[in-house]
Amino acid sequence: MKGNPLLRLGAVLLLLGAVLWPVWELTSEGHSHDLPGNPIVAAGSVTSPGGSARPATLRATLLLHTAPAPLHCAIRQQGVLLLSEKDMVSPGEYRAAVDLAKGLDLVISADWSDDDPHAVRAEVYVHGYQAHLEKSFWAQRTLEDSFVIPDSFLP
C-alpha cells in the first residue's frame, strides 16, 4: 500500500473507532440488547410491574420417575416447590408443568421408609425446545441432590 504513513494511520484509527462503539455496546453490562418492548434488563433478569428484577423464566415440564414410590418427594428451585408427591400421575411417576428460572439449579429430594436401594430419574423438558435433560440418582432412606441445568442448554 502506497501513500502517506500519517494518512494510513488516520484511516486505521478511524476504522477502529467505528468498530469500537458497537463492540462496547455489545460487551458492556447493564445494557438491554433485546428488541424494543422486551423487558429484559440484564442477563437472567426481568423487570416486574413493580420495577424490581426477578430471574427470567422458561415454561417447562418436570418428570420424576422413582422405584419404588417414595413417601415424600420434591423438586425445588431457590426454595420454591415445583413438584411434590401431590403431582403423582401413576405409582412412582410424577409430572408438573412449571416456570423455571434461568440459570438456577434444581434440588431433588425424596424419603422412603426402608434402607433398600432406590432409583430416581428426573427429566426436564423446556416447552418449544427439542433437547431435554435427565439425571439419575441412587439413594437409600433419603435423597437430596442437585440437578444442574447448564446455561448452554437454555434457549
pLDDT recorded at residue 89:
94
Per-residue pLDDT of the chain (155 residues; tens, 9 = 90+): 577 888 888 888 888 888 887 777 777 655 444 444 433 333 444 444 444 455 677 889 999 999 888 999 999 999 999 999 999 999 999 999 999 888 889 999 999 999 899 999 999 998 888 888 999 999 999 999 999 887 776 66
Q: Is the pTM of this model over 0.75?
A: no
The amino acid at 52: S
Q: Contact, 111 vs 43, CB < 8 A?
A: no
pLDDT recorded at residue 24:
73
- Taking CA atoms, 90 is separated from 65, 112, 116, in Å, by 10, 17, 21
pLDDT recorded at residue 155:
63
Q: Contact, 117 vs 140, CB < 8 A?
A: yes
H-assigned helices in 28-129 = none
pLDDT recorded at residue 138:
93
pLDDT recorded at residue 1:
56
Give the separation between CA 42 and CA 30, rounded to whole angstroms: 6
pLDDT recorded at residue 52:
46
pLDDT recorded at residue 110:
94
